Chains A and B, each alone.
Chain A
């Protein structure tokens, strides 16, 4: 008994020690005045990104630091596929960075938890930038009426086809509806152009999977509320809905061997390579892939990949936004850190000397889309985009784009569930209606739990 008491005492002591070693409680800091403050003391902040264009980011940081010698930025990067989970781990362990990349589909989750802080509350220039941002992108960066980011890039999910292969099958125009896609895919298969004319990157781990599926749904519906009504109630789980039609179509193209079965384990990078090899004619990809698809020397079909408006009656699609965000840690660190973070936001997602310098660089050098509307009229951007795409079509698709519906704090959890349900529907393990009913039930359950 004595031994047990001694052991328990040790346990309690150890717990107290651990608790004492924990981080101090956050100190509330008042929002700054309406004009941006100067950085009076040297400030060092870490900036976490997903692993893309690291050399460009490093160079941008170097340029930023030259302009702001008082500010030092330390860059860390994680794989896109692990990014969300890694950041959640960091936030939960009270080890968040100062600055980081965010995405529209995580914003509600992260903002509701208090991990991110609204930029427009602390950085006065953000309000001005927001006026020039495409509505779908602004919506994707807004939570509870406050703006939490400045756009790193914004893009649309685009329907892409290989024009050479399509012409080989005898078609001179791109498909405008899902029926057209089906008819043309059948012909492509019948003529032996492709074994599987359609490919998707719909591995359960692939982040762009729900966005591509939602794009198909949006394209079949005139107006909003394709998935949820204004009170966030599911409206998609009924026969004849846009989502139902999409599920039926997917099942049809899968069973008839038009959709590559490998789509269910495919990641985006493999999807692009597969398209470049000419193994497929149709796909849906985030638009930035067009620069890679049509890159000279990237394959026999470079220069022949074209964007068609998303097949469907409305030709709408998903527009999404990835953005620069700051965490509560900046606010807790005090006014100098807030001022430094605002300067960072100005440089990376806003204007330097009146120009969107960094955003334009990403667009011109990497083909990343953007939410800052004035850039559509920028001669440099038009010239760069014209090398791999048809600028009027890109602009038209961007105009038709809508933000994802149902961006609630539980969207991330539902998204994970929905992926496997869509798989089951495509594989025929359950009917389209059962698939949609299961998705709706899970949504309602998650909503009720909040």
Chain B
């Protein structure tokens, strides 16, 4: 009897040990499967395709071409120009979004009436889909009936309506304006959250010491906001580099490819030139560029933390 009991106890202990050992793995398995299926597998598959010639009009011929797709993309007619366009667009957009976000956040942080309602209203442009935002801006800057032309004309700033989207420089500016309008509100809300975390005592102490508004901003607000600003900069840099829908709707990359960003060509390679291998190779290059920039930002943050 006791032997049976001992055997039962031993079996129970073994089952329980096995259960304890595998339970954590079983628990994470569903989530892991989802990640593998929808994230890891597509990425691995995409990387694999980038090493093959994958022209959509030749569905039965996919020879291994090594790094040729990457070489083709880098030496293509558009790569340098679109990289410059993306650089200009990213720098101007991120700078604009940060300035806009900072100013709006500081205004919302004051004790003005209806500030809570304003916080919601200010988020509206961010909540609008990029395609709709693009269409709205297409109308705003329209050369025949655009409201921007109407305002400038009625103020006497222009003699005739300007075709904003038909001029290479003005088309770039229009695109950047649309991006700042769309992305600025989110940055403002992030920065506002950061501002509200700064203890009021700091400002009171500065006031007692006779610090002016600008000095308080320079030596209290800005340093304490730095971590939030960095997060916003990282996010906005990624958003700007990957901008596609706004370009697609607003300018279609024109005129004369002046607004063709690198992400536009990743799309064009696949859907216009029908070269999936090259399109994916370009997408990987874009991902690497973004990753490098983020690592640089993170290092900058780490260095500043160490110094402080």
Contact = CB atoms under 8 A, between A and B. Distances in A.
Interface of A: 10-11, 14-15, 18, 84-85, 88-89, 91-92, 109-110, 112-114, 195, 203-205, 260-266, 270, 273-274, 277, 279, 409, 412-413, 416-417, 419-420, 423-424, 427, 429, 438, 442
Interface in B131-156: 142-144
B148 to A, nearest CB: 14
A330 B294 CA distance: 49
12 contacts: A10-B36, A11-B36, A113-B59, A114-B59, A260-B143, A260-B163, A262-B166, A265-B171, A265-B251, A277-B144, A413-B272, A420-B257
Contact of A204 (B142, B163, B251, B273): B251
Closest 3 CB pairs of A and B: A204-B254, A205-B252, A262-B163
B56 interface: yes
Given A15-B44, A263-B166, A423-B256, 9 more contacts: A10-B32, A85-B272, A113-B59, A204-B252, A205-B253, A264-B166, A265-B165, A417-B77, A438-B77
Interface in B72-89: 77
A11 B42 CA distance: 11
A11 B256 contact: no
A416 B274 contact: no
Contact of A113 (B58, B144, B167, B252): B58
Nearest to A414: B273
B23 interface: no
A109 B254 contact: no
B41 A109 contact: no
Contacts of B273: 413, 416
A447 to B, nearest CB: 13
Contacts of B143: 260-262, 265
Nearest to A425: B256
B37 interface: yes
Contact of A442 (B33, B37, B77, B144): B77
Contacts of B271: 84-85, 88-89
Given A92-B276, A261-B166, A263-B166, A420 B256 contact: yes
Nearest to B36: A14
Per DSSP, chain B at the interface is loop
B268 interface: yes
Contacts of B165: 262, 265
A163 B276 CA distance: 49
Contact of A413 (B254, B274, B276): B274
B254 A264 contact: yes
A89 B77 CA distance: 24
Given A18-B37, A279-B144, A265 B168 contact: no
Nearest to B143: A262
A203 B36 contact: no
B40 interface: yes
A261 B167 contact: yes
A442 B144 CA distance: 35
Contacts of A277: 144
B303 to A, nearest CB: 32
Contacts of A409: 57
A195 B252 CA distance: 26
A146 to B, nearest CB: 17
Interface string B47-69: 00000000011111000000000
Give the one of B33, B56, B168, B276 with max A CB within 10 A.
Answer: B56
A442 to B, nearest CB: 7
Interface string B264-289: 00001001111010000000000000
B255 interface: yes
B71 interface: no
Contact of A270 (B33, B144, B253): B144
B196 interface: no
Interface in B163-184: 163, 165-168, 171
A420 B254 contact: yes
A427 B272 contact: no
B129 to A, nearest CB: 15
A11 B40 contact: yes
Contact of A274 (B40, B144, B256, B268): B144
Give the one of A14, A109, A277, A416 with max B CB within 10 A.
Answer: A14
A51 B143 CA distance: 26
Contacts of A423: 254-257
B10 interface: no
A329 B57 CA distance: 17
Nearest to B41: A14
A203 B268 CA distance: 16
A101 to B, nearest CB: 17
B243 interface: no
B121 to A, nearest CB: 31
B166 A412 contact: no
B8 interface: no
A419 B256 CA distance: 8
B255 A416 contact: no
Give the one of B37, B57, B251, B271 with max A CB within 10 A.
Answer: B57
B260 interface: yes
Contacts of A273: 144
B252 A112 contact: no
Given A92-B56, A420-B253, A262 B144 contact: yes
A113 B274 CA distance: 10
Contact of A91 (B56, B160, B256): B56
A195 B272 CA distance: 36
Contacts of A262: 143-144, 163, 165-166
A181 to B, nearest CB: 20
B306 to A, nearest CB: 32
A202 to B, nearest CB: 9
